[in-house]
Structure 1
Amino acid sequence: MGNPDAIEYLFGQLTGGVGREATKAANMATSLVTGEELAPHQITLAGRFYGNTRGVNGQSTAYHENLKRVNTSMAEAKGRVQQGEDAEAVLLDVPVAKVDGPANVLDKRVADLVKMRRQIQKGDSPDKRALVKEVNAQIEQSMYLLNKAVEDTLAGRRGQ
C-alpha cells in the first residue's frame, strides 16, 4: 500500500471530507504546474455536484476497496488452509482469493504507471498533457480490470 493513490485514499478515509477537499486543493495546485487535466469531480467542491462516476478516480475507489477485499480474502484462505481445511473447499467459500495473483500484477502495474506519470509531469516534454492523459487511461483500464475480475468472481458465486 505504498503507492501514492493508495496513500491518498487512506488519507481521505482517515481525515474525512475536510482531508479529501484539502487533497483536491493540493491536486488542483499541482495540475496548474504540471498540466495534468483534472476531471470535474476532482475539483474542490465541484465534485459534490458532479459525482464520481468516470475516470481514474471513478475506478479508484472501487479499485482500492476491491484490492483490500482480495487481500483480506487471500489472508483468510491461507489461514484456513494452514489450519488444515481443504484448499478447494476454502476457495469455493472465499472465491475472491482466486483473484490474488492478477490483483498483485495489476497493483504493480498501477504503481508503475503512477511513477511514470509523475516522471512525465516533472519533465519538460511539450506534449506532457497528452502523455499524462494516455497514462491516466492506462491506469483507469488496469483498475477497471481488477474491479471487473472481482465483480465477475462474486457474480459467479451468486450464480451457484
Structure 2
Amino acid sequence: MKACLLLFFYFSLIGQLHGADVKIKENESVMGSTAMTYDLSEEKLMKLKYKSQHGDSEASFRLYQYYCFTKNNIDKQLRFLERSASQGNVTAQFNYGVFLSDTNPTLSEYYNLNRAIYWMEFAVNNGNIDTKSKLQELKKLKRMDRRKNKENP
C-alpha cells in the first residue's frame, strides 16, 4: 500500500495522474475516492485482461491501477505494471523502476536496484525526460553500494 501511495503522491505532484473527478453530466463532476475512481465492473475487468494479454499497454496499466488503488494486491499490481512496461508504456517503465528501487521494508522482497536502473533507462530512452533525475539518483546509490561492499568485504 505504501508503494501505491508513493506512486500516487509522485504522479499527483507532476500531473501525470488524473484527479479523482467522476463525471455525472456534461459540465458536472463530483469528487470520489481513489478506490472508486479506479474500480472496474466485472465486464470491464475481463475486457481489460483480454486486451492486456494481447499486447495493449494501456489496458495493462489500467489493471495495475485497479490492483493498486482498489484491491491493494501487490503481486497483481507488479504483474500488470511489468507487463505494461514491457509493452512500451513509458509511465509504467518509470513506475516499475520506482517500485523496484523502493527501500520500504514491507517491499524488500521486490527490491532490485539493477532492474530499477534498467527500467529507468528504458523510460528515459523512450522519451520520459522527467525520469533522468531519478535515474541519476539510482546510479549514485549503486555506486555508493559498490563502495560499501569494497570497504566491508
TM-score by length of 1: 0.29
Structure richer in strand, relative to its length: 2
Bigger RCO of structures 1 and 2 (CA < 8 A, at least 6 apart):
1
Larger gyration radius, structure 1 or structure 2: 1
Structure richer in helix, relative to its length: 1
TM-score by length of 2: 0.30
